[in-house]
Every structure is written in structure tokens, then in C-alpha cells.
Structure 1
Amino acid sequence: MKIITLNMNMFRYLIDGSFNEFLKEYQADVVILQEVRSSLADEVTCYTHKISPNLYQEIENIKKTIYLTVALCKDDTWQKVNIDHFHYNNRFVKIKNDDWSIFGLHLPLQDDIDSLLSIIQESDCDIICGDFNAHRKYSQIKNWKVIDNLINDKGYSDLWEKGLKEGKAYYIDYKGEKKKAHQGDFYRTFVGNTHIDYVLAKADIHLIDIIIDMRTLAFTDHCAMIVNYKKDES
């Protein structure tokens, strides 16, 4: 199972189609995009199955320029999970198939996100990934506290940290060369020289590898994170 998570706020790939080529290179089963305009997400030609946020299709007159978190799926075995007690929100999408469940999100830096935080903490998905706008050095901020809760109280693991410890973490440099990442070194996921994007997983997931691809800074302001994993057979 392979997942890509990437914030596409800048979204400049339409100049030469390089984002489609990027997606074809990895052939991921699921791509979670955050802060992508709905109209531009439709321009991704290599994925035909697109899943929009909670109750998005049921709302009339939503502008096609609104920023969404969307899931691009390789096949139609993936289905959206609507969260009945939560109104339409453009910041998250929850999907599942017979084997996996994924919660993709963009977590804003705002004071009024308590209801969204509770949804994240209670989602009970195999994978929770996206742009958390959180960094360990800002541990007093509410956004980091949700990561801390998921790891320490809900039993999730940070797959980048897990990959570093197990020798399964890599990065792609600007020349397109894949290099091993090492514990103690800093690896950013955002142009602001911070690491604010995460892939969190339940303990029964076996990590094959995880990659930060710096080349995506050519068409947005985040580095893509690519995760390859399977069920833990132990």
C-alpha cells in the first residue's frame, strides 16, 4: 500500500504538467492533497477516482475555487466515509476500502478548531496524514497537542520518526537522487524550514519505507511525503 500526502496551496504544476508526471512516477494507491482548489484537482488526469470532503457534494453553490482536502484513488474500491455528526468541512476527508481506512487533513492555525480536533482524535483510522501546521518546538500550540494525543494516548506512531529509527527513511534531493535520511539530521516538509506534515499510523502497520521528496517545491510550498507499508505479519 502506497500513500502520498502533499499540501498544494501554491499549485503551479499546470504550467507544464509536471505534477501529473510526478504522480505517475510513484503510482500511489491513494494521494491525499490539502488546500487544493477543486477546479484544479480535476486537472489531475492520472487519477479518475476523486473523493471530496465530508458532505461536499450535498452543498449547493460551492465555488470551484474553494480550497479542499481531497483523496485521489487508483480505483473505486475506496469510498468516502461521511461523519454524520459533523457538518461540511473542506479541511478533511475520510476514506476506506476493505483493508484500510485513511483520514487526510489540513489543520489550520486557529483557536476555534476544537470540534475538528475531536473528530481527528476519534477517527480511529489506520492512517492519519496531512498538513498539521505543527512542530515539536511549538509544543504549546493546540495543533501539536493533537499529534501528542494521537501518539501517546491513541497508540499511533509517527512514521517518519519510525523510519529514521529503523533505517527506512529517505529523501529525494533536487537532482532527483534518493538518499538515506539519518537520525539527528533535520528534514523539512515546508518551505518555511519546518517539519509540519505527518503520517501517523496504528501499531499494526509494517513500514516498508517513507520518503520526503523535495522536488515538489518546484510547484508548491511543501515537500511530498510518500509512504509504503503493509499489514504487520508478526
Structure 2
Amino acid sequence: MKIITANTNGIRAAAKKGFFDWLEKQDADVTCIQETKAQVHQLEDPIFHPGFSYYNDAVKKGYSGTALYCKREPDDLISGTGYETFDSEGRYLEAKFGNLSVISLYMPSGSAKDERQLIKYECMDFFMNLMEEMKSSGRDYIICGDWNIAHKNEDIRNWKGNKKNSGFLPEERAWLDTLFDDVGFVDAFRELEQEEHSYTWWSNRGQAYANNTGWRIDYHVLSPSLKGTVKKTEIYKDEKFSDHAPLIIDYDYDI
């Protein structure tokens, strides 16, 4: 099973850069998209509907939004979490295949202003409780997306200079410590040995991309039951569709 997660920073902009041509060649079972920045009625072109495609738009136009593209039709689809702050921004979309759930998640960023950081903390608290429920449910989960947190020093090039910045705050990193170490969820990318300086997002300021001054904030997060199923990982950088790079992971798991 191959799953891709990609923050497109505008699905229409990514399409113009060849994203869907590339995606067709990948033959992924599920592709999780974040930051579509569009309403579904603006995406009538068939290019935006590969396979079985689903969108969860933000109420605010041109903002946030998630999508799922599936090779086969899911048994069920869940749009949203029941938490209004999260759901009004279209940040959660879940497809069920038998005992497996694949989720496209877009965690808020707190970098714009203090108010958004507080909202981010509220969403993190809510989501931690939700993931504890997921763990006890008996289902398998793969939660893909832009979590807007770099976990450890090796996940961010300039870690010394970002200790007080949203996305690398001690409270955010401790939250991931709890998720991985205490609750038992798995950072799929770190299941295999990785090259140094492997990142998925680069600021558009300066020469961050050219210098690989990046952050790893895009994840596949697995329920404890799926530990050991990762076969191959790849951060695709041969083409640039967005300020994020697609994260591709192959699993020893069939749907």
C-alpha cells in the first residue's frame, strides 16, 4: 500500500505546476491533501477528481481545506471531528477501508499571531483526546498531513534560532513526545534510517529551499498496531509543487 501526503498551498496553483501529472504516475492507494485553498465548486475540471476524490472545504474562501484521493471507494467517509473550531476550517477528512482509517489532517499554524497560537493549543488538546480514543478503538489509523510542528532538533535545520517560534516551541514538541512516547503512536518516517537534513517544508523567504534550511512538519502518524509496517519512505523533491514536498510511504498492508 502506497500513501502520499502533500500540502499543496493551493490545489489550483499546484495543478499549474504539474502536480496531478506527477500524481498519476505514482499510482498511490490514497493521497492526502492539505491547504486546498478552494471551494469544491471551483474545482470542476476533472483533473481535480482523480479516482474517488473527496474535499472538505473551509468556510472561509481561499483558506485551509483538505482532500482525499483514493484508488478504490472507501467503505465510509468522515468529514470533520465535531469540534467546530477545527471543522469550520476544513482540517480533517477520514476514509475508512475495512479496519483501516486514513486521515488527511491540517493542524493550525500559530505563526501569524498570538491568537492563532492559542487556537492551535486548543486544537492540540482536543486532538490528543481524539487520538487516545482512536488507540482504544481497535482500528488501524494512518494520520497524514501537515502537523505544523517539528519534533526534534534533527527535524529542523536552524533549531537553535527557532526555539521561541511557533512550530518548534517546547510545549508543541512535548505534545509530540506525549503522542509518540506515552500514547504510543508512531512517526512512520522515523521507522527507517533517514539521511541527515530531511525536511518537508521551506520558507519562501530568502534562499531557504536552495540552502535546504527546512523543517519536517509533514507526517504519517500510525496507530501502535501499525508499528513495523513501513517498507519505504521518500520525500519527493525532483519537482517543486508547493512550499512543502510530498511525503510518500509504502506499507506492508493491503486495503
TM-score of the aligned structures, taking structure 2 as reference length: 0.70
Give aligned-pair identity as a percent. Answer: 22
**Structure 1 counterpart of 2:199, from 175, 188, 194:** 188
- Superposition deviation, residue 73 in structure 1: 1.5
Which runs of 5 or more structure 1 residues have no equivalent in the other structure?
165-180
- 1:20–1:46: 8 Å Cα contact kept in structure 2? no
Residue 159 of structure 2 aligns with which residue? Answer: none
- 2:81–2:92: 8 Å Cα contact kept in structure 1? no
- 2:74–2:95: 8 Å Cα contact kept in structure 1? no
- 1:51–1:79: 8 Å Cα contact kept in structure 2? no
The superposition leaves residues 146-203 of structure 1 with CA deviations (integer Å, 9 ceiling, x where unpaired) of: 3222201221111111121xxxxxxxxxxxxxxxx43xx1111112312111111123
Q: How many residues align?
A: 206
Mapped partners of 1:103, 1:145: distance in 2: 23
**Structure 2 counterpart of 1:203, from 199, 224, 245:** 224
Mapped partners of 2:147, 2:81: distance in 1: 23
Structure-2 change in CA distance of 1:71 and 1:25 (3 Å): same
Mapped partners of 1:190, 1:41: distance in 2: 25
- Superposition deviation, residue 115 in structure 1: 3.9
- 2:78–2:94: 8 Å Cα contact kept in structure 1? yes
Structure-2 change in CA distance of 1:80 and 1:116 (3 Å): farther
Q: Secondary structure at the match of 2:202?
A: coil
**Structure 2 counterpart of 1:158, from 171, 183, 187:** 187
Residue 237 of structure 2 aligns with which residue? Answer: 214
Mapped partners of 2:179, 2:102: distance in 1: 14
The answer to whether the aligner puts 1:68 opposite 2:91 as a matched pair is: no
Which runs of 5 or more structure 2 residues have no equivalent in the other structure?
111-116, 135-139, 154-162, 204-213
What RMSD over aligned residues (CA atoms) do the two structures have, in Å?
A: 2.7
Residue 211 of structure 2 aligns with which residue? Answer: none
- Superposition deviation, residue 144 in structure 1: 2.8
Structure-2 change in CA distance of 1:27 and 1:146 (3 Å): farther
List aligned pairs for 1:19-98, cutoff 5 A.
19-39=19-39, 43=45, 44-45=47-48, 47-53=50-56, 62=59, 65-82=62-79, 85-87=82-84, 88-89=87-88, 90-98=90-98
Per residue, is there more strand in 1 or in 2?
1
**Structure 1 counterpart of 2:120, from 113, 118, 128:** 113
The one-letter code matched in structure 2 to 1:118 is D
Mapped partners of 2:74, 2:93: distance in 1: 16
Deviates more, 1:84-93 or 1:103-112: 84-93
Per residue, is there more helix in 1 or in 2?
2
Runs of 4+ in 1 over 6 A off after TM superposition: none
